[in-house]
Structure 1
């Protein structure tokens, strides 16, 4: 099974799930988003936002492919590019952070670590650009397996907590969470060190024996 990560571009935009491809929840203020959905073309508005953000700020999303199939994505940008970011009871986003707006892993590929891999890719990108932290509005008590449109284009708070975010402002529905990028970038080195240590403790003969299945929490 091969995995590949790419930047969100006007070409790869077409590989977002249909509901997300036409969603302008974050990209427009609430009134403009309502007008676009009622009388306009939200897909065109989404394309225009991606085009402008890429031109003015740079990469604003990552997509994951498994064996060539679109399997998941995340999107992110400075709050200034996201009018909806001021509409939450836990707003505003910290001045030193970029907002991770939404993310989703397609159901057949869920549970395989793609979400963590996507967040790591965002962390590496933003660190190179001098950003100190990622923040996100998570939805509390999200139904398991809910599609993005069913939860207001927010990822579950539990997902963010599971990949290293910490809650910086509590709320019963939409807590704001934060990930310091130096913490995020330590994941990869920690995993590589653990794997190297494990392999180094094995003899060549043991590496050739069938693996024993281990149950983990």
Structure 2
């Protein structure tokens, strides 16, 4: 399925899948909300967060959309195949609640990565990662970090297992939960991240973006590393255009 990956813009918000539009797991501090997991309008909260980050910091997302077979352009109603969100840690309230916090001062935090086409998930997630890396290197960011979710984190669905200190990090908001909203640590490791703060449930991982080679070499190296780990050809013609 031909795809194009472009920076997310506010006018493309409606193209996002329902969960991506409503997910505020990272964007809201649950301790500041009334008791209970009900949010009156999570889509409004998510769009407001995106607007704030874009205004203060710039692009904070990448969107994979389906291209028409005979058209290299992407329309505003093109099906969404995947997405990625990232932001400075100061703009991500939930990031301070994890046991392996804080995120390094020189890093941007990768919060969410989702794909709507299961058959092509491996290739699309790595294309999205490559687009995130390319954007951040061009902007002079030194590193990308993320909180990973290990297989052992599945046991946290049992409230009796969750320690009081960990509870603020894992509390659900509406239909947002650890299982849906925290990136699998094995994927991050496969993509070239390394663990910088170990934890049985939520290690913090880091991908260095600046290696003294200049931004072009960094982007090329990141693309090669991510696409080689997928062991397949990119969907479509790459991140810049459609086949």
TM-score range normalised by the length of the shorter chain: 0.7 to 0.9
SS in 2 for 1:103: strand
2:115 is aligned with 1:80: no
2:55 is aligned with 1:63: no
Residue 175 of structure 1 corresponds to which residue in structure 2? 203
Residue 157 of structure 2 corresponds to which residue in structure 1? none
Deviation at 1:128, TM superposition (A): 1.4
Higher relative contact order (CA 8 A, sep 6+): 2
Deviation at 1:15, TM superposition (A): 2.1
Residue 53 of structure 1 corresponds to which residue in structure 2? 53
Counterparts of 2:207 and 2:226, CA distance in 1: 18
Aligned residue pairs total 189
Q: Which moved more, 1:47-56 or 1:19-28?
A: 19-28
Counterparts of 2:141 and 2:188, CA distance in 1: 18
**Aligned CA distance change for structure 1 residues 167 and 39 (closer, same or farther; 3 Å):** closer
Counterparts of 1:93 and 1:188, CA distance in 2: 24
Map residues 1-217 of structure 1 onto 2, 5 A cutoff: 1-32=1-32, 38-67=38-67, 68-141=78-151, 149=177, 151-182=179-210, 185=219, 186-188=221-223
Deviation at 1:150, TM superposition (A): 5.9
Residues 24, 33 of structure 1: 8 Å contact kept? no
Counterparts of 1:22 and 1:164, CA distance in 2: 29
**Aligned CA distance change for structure 1 residues 82 and 191 (closer, same or farther; 3 Å):** closer
**Aligned CA distance change for structure 1 residues 12 and 32 (closer, same or farther; 3 Å):** farther
Runs of 4+ in 1 over 4 A off after TM superposition: 33-37, 147-150, 189-192
CA-atom RMSD in angstroms: 2.6
Deviation at 1:182, TM superposition (A): 4.2
Q: Which runs of 5+ in 1 are unaligned?
A: 193-217
Residues 78, 99 of structure 1: 8 Å contact kept? yes
Q: Which runs of 5+ in 2 are unaligned?
A: 68-77, 155-174, 212-217, 228-243
**Aligned CA distance change for structure 1 residues 51 and 89 (closer, same or farther; 3 Å):** same
Deviation at 1:24, TM superposition (A): 1.1
Counterparts of 2:176 and 2:114, CA distance in 1: 7
Residues 138, 174 of structure 1: 8 Å contact kept? yes
TM superposition score normalised by structure 1: 0.78
Q: Which moved more, 1:14-23 or 1:167-176?
A: 14-23
TM superposition score normalised by structure 2: 0.70
